[in-house]
Amino acid sequence: MVIPYGKQSVSEEDVKAVVEVLTSDFLTQGPVVPRFERALASSVGATDAVVVNSGTAALHVACLALSLGEGDVLWTSPISFVASANCARYCGASVDFVDVSRENGNICIKALELKLAAAAAQNCLPKVLVAVHLAGNPCDLLPLSLLLKPYGVKLIEDASHAIGARYRESSIGDCAYSDLTVFSFHPVKVITSGEGGCVLCKDSSFAKSMRASRQHGLLREASEYRYPSPGDWYYEQQSMGWNYRMTDIQAALGHSQLTRCNEFVQKRNDIAAYYRVALEELPCEFLTTTSGAYCSYHLFVILVEPSERQDLFSYMRRAGIGVQVHYIPIHTQPYYRDLGFNWGMFPDAEYFYSRALSLPIFPSLTADDQGKVIDLLKIYWS
């Protein structure tokens, strides 16, 4: 039996919540989606939350809400899933990357400072920065936001890994330092709705725009129509939109899971703390945590020598441990190489990638299974 790097934890209460929807009058576009949105916003202190059918869709509608389009540029981290960059391409915008810290894989503040100054001098500043909270460890949002503000660059937090995390006095998702924050509810994330995502904001106009984007661009409020309504059946499409709706079935699971989010994050922190103690004498390093931050530990990443990463990966996989590498640098993917990027352009991201190995971490990981992971690593390095 393989021990995966991540796994959902579904309870009887989750099953009951889903069954209640399945036996109700609405499977989609019913009362559960708005209930889930209100709970999400309340849980982090945001003004509003807009749920969609994936984290990728959430990134897309977030970019649309900020009017990203042709002629604009979005910057993001090269160490992330490709969706963090692809969202700009969906809007017709260009993409560039900011190198990361070798210690934790998040955007390097110094690299960002230098790149912003150079871009300002060349009159090619980005419109949006997508800052990725890798592994659930928040970026250093205060200096990051202070750097962006004088240049007028909008900030989206890609917190797909970071629901339940905190930075200083803020819950990730309250948008205290950003314009919008994105969560993902994929099964291996901290909480799941099966598939799903969310954008949180403090500006209600953003929420209005994103709700239209997720439903074909349709509006159903008479006060917003351009033309007279002939009856209650009437609606208008005033902009391009997509079918990004979350179902009530998914929202029921997500709402139930949200009630245990803090419990899940605490368990992940307990597992991470045990890894750190048990592995501290081995020739690997741990990601540094941002000062003043509380990590949600979507991933537990160790850094090993590049020369032995492949051998260690194969050794663990053969032993039934589903280790993984997060992530292949986006700029090295064939699609982005066709756009002009290549190896060597973001050396710290490439070095981080060459060393990173994700170990199993999820709330239902047993002490015995974690002990097996640790014992195998000790044997490998003995």
The pLDDT tens digits of the residues spanning 99-152 come to: 999 999 999 999 999 999 999 999 999 999 999 999 999 999 999 999 999 999
pLDDT digits 0-9 by tens, 163-177: 999 999 999 999 999
Residue 4 pLDDT more than 90?
yes
Q: What is the mean pLDDT of residues 220-245?
A: 93
Rounded distance between C-alpha atoms, residue 130 and residue 142, angstroms: 15
Residue 1 pLDDT more than 90?
no
Tell how many helices (H) and how many strands (E) occur in the chain. 13, 17
Supply angle C-alpha 208, 209, 211, rounded to 5.
65
Q: Is the pTM of this model over 0.75?
A: yes
- Assigned CATH for 3-258: 3.40.640.10
Task: Evaluate whether 246 touches 253 at the Cβ level (below 8 Å).
Answer: no
Same topology between domain 3-258 and domain 261-380: no
List C-alpha distances in Å: 252 to 49, 215, 240, 294.
15, 19, 28, 27
CATH topology of domain 261-380: Aspartate Aminotransferase, domain 1 (3.90.1150)
Residue 52 DSSP one-character state: E
Q: What is the pLDDT of residue 330?
A: 98
Q: What is the mean pLDDT of residues 355-359?
A: 98
Q: Which residue ranges make up each domain of the chain?
A: 3-258, 261-380
Average pLDDT, the chain: 97
Residue 242 pLDDT more than 90?
yes
pLDDT digits 0-9 by tens, 191-216: 999 999 999 999 999 999 999 999 99
The model's confidence at residue 240, banded by pLDDT at 50, 70 and 90, is very high
pLDDT digits 0-9 by tens, 33-83: 999 999 999 999 999 999 999 999 999 999 999 999 999 999 999 999 999
